[in-house]
Structure 1
Amino acid sequence: MGRVGWVLWALFIVAIPLFLVTASVTWAFNSPGLYNNGFEKYSISRISGITDRDLRQVSSELRHYFNSGEEPLDVRTRIFGVEQDLFNDREIAHMKDVKQLVRGVYVLALVSGVYLALMVAAGFALQRRQFVGPLARGFLWGGGLTLVLLVIFGVAALVGFDSVFLKFHQLSFANDLWQLDPRTDYLVRIFPQDFWFDATMWVAVRAIGGALLLTVVGSAYLVHQRYAGWQNAFHALKEAARPDSK
């Protein structure tokens, strides 16, 4: 394998965790169930004064905002029975930053997914069945890398999610608009930090599931091939040892 081949496979291996994580994050931001379960688990209706039905509508409008070109965010709902704007100017400005971040995740998921698909398609087109072995090794290494990274992140999140959450915001945003007050800002009332911990675990579980699948598939094929090689070698030795084979 030449230098270009090594680079292509290195990118393939790195693209696997990138795709699994960003695809899971994309899924999370667009999953009504994740929002609704969080609202119910943390009694957001009681805390915010917004009914469960209206909270579901709010989450639907947020998902629409992330997936559209509409600006600025404009969400009205009933709070303790009075219809009003849900978010203030600071929250709206922060959500614009969040939207840009989410769109960046979408792009990474698309680019990494397309690269993986092109590598697989090109490999089978050029090498046909001979590509299965290298692909299995790529799955094994990529899935293994994903598991290692997620285990490290998971331990850090479980030990000190507050610090991880803070560092994420400091690295992701170039301003302090994310510093909101639950006494005045509904964004942190309806999405408390515990909600984001659950969402992080939700993403991690799905990314780990994908990584385990790739790791198992890749390792199973490689073990099968090695076992088949041993069997062929054993049969060859038996044939060579037979008297009538001389």
Structure 2
Amino acid sequence: MKKSFSPSNLTLAVVFMLFFISFSVVLVLNFRPLYYHDIEALGIVESSGISEEDIRTNYDTLISYNSIFGQKELDFPTLAMSESGKIHFEEVKNIFVFVQWLCISTLFAGTAGLFFKFRKKDAGCLKLAGVLTPLVPAVLGGLIALNWENFFVTFHHIFFRNDYWLFNPATDPVITILPDAFFLHCAIAILVLIIFFSLLSFLVSQLLSRHWS
């Protein structure tokens, strides 16, 4: 067990922790079927007064825009957008692009680290990642369970230095197709994935340790 807590294993464990988190975020945010399901489950057509076809088209445009390779300017096909709304979505894209680059860089760094660790038959970094990473969803999950609305508001205060995220449906009707409940579902899915990857990492480390012993 002491071998697992070597500085190199701790460093790699943090790298994999960041990868599990960023990959989970990227995966969920690009998993469009989740939103398509919520269109009906949350009654978005009825609450927004917008057709399902237009809802899907505008949502797809937003998701594509937030990609690393997405268009530079956001232009909703059928929805109006204010200047403050445009600025907010630019800020959101900057965050998402950062998370995507973090995912890619930690993947390469983790893979390179594993290459050298496996040559030494040392899977300690995976064990540590499997043990430490669940602390993140445990803390965030607790905060979400206590008060989702407060968590949601606090999140925006931390990541945004303005109140442009407080949309006016009259000038930014896109907010009517993005209910808070959908973001809650995204948060839950992300936490579940993080836990899954943590367990997978721990199980792989155990299997490798047995194989090498």
Same fold (TM over 0.5): yes
Q: Is the 8 A contact 1:140 1:215 kept in 2?
A: yes
Larger Rg: 1
Q: Where does residue 32 of structure 2 map in the other structure?
A: 32
1:133-144 aligned at under 5 Å gives the runs 134-135=122-123, 137-144=124-131
Deviations along 1:13-46, one digit per CA (max 9) or x if unpaired, are 1112211111011112211112212222211111
Q: Is the 8 A contact 1:12 1:119 kept in 2?
A: yes
| Distance (whole Å) between structure 2 residues aligned to residue 9 and residue 140 of structure 1 | 9
Shift of 1:219: 3.0
Q: Where does residue 109 of structure 1 map in the other structure?
A: 103
Deviations along 1:69-110, one digit per CA (max 9) or x if unpaired, are 533311122xxxxxxx33322222111110001001111111
Q: Where does residue 191 of structure 1 map in the other structure?
A: 178
For the residue of structure 2 that corresponds to 1:187, the secondary structure is helix
Structure 1 residues not aligned, in runs of 5+: 78-84, 229-246
Q: Which moved more, 1:68-77 or 1:166-175?
A: 68-77
For the residue of structure 2 that corresponds to 1:197, the secondary structure is helix
Q: Which one-letter code corresponds to 1:149 in the other structure?
A: V
Q: Is the 8 A contact 1:18 1:112 kept in 2?
A: yes
TM-score after normalising by structure 1: 0.77
TM-score after normalising by structure 2: 0.88
- How many residues of Structure 1 are paired with residues of Structure 2 in the alignment? 208
Q: Where does residue 96 of structure 1 map in the other structure?
A: 90
Shift of 1:185: 3.2
| Distance (whole Å) between structure 1 residues aligned to residue 90 and residue 32 of structure 2 | 20
Q: Which has the higher contact order (CA 8 A, sep 6+)?
A: 2
Identity %: 24
| Distance (whole Å) between structure 2 residues aligned to residue 177 and residue 19 of structure 1 | 30
Shift of 1:172: 0.8
Is residue 177 from structure 1 mapped to residue 164 from structure 2 by the alignment? yes
Structure 2 residues not aligned, in runs of 5+: none
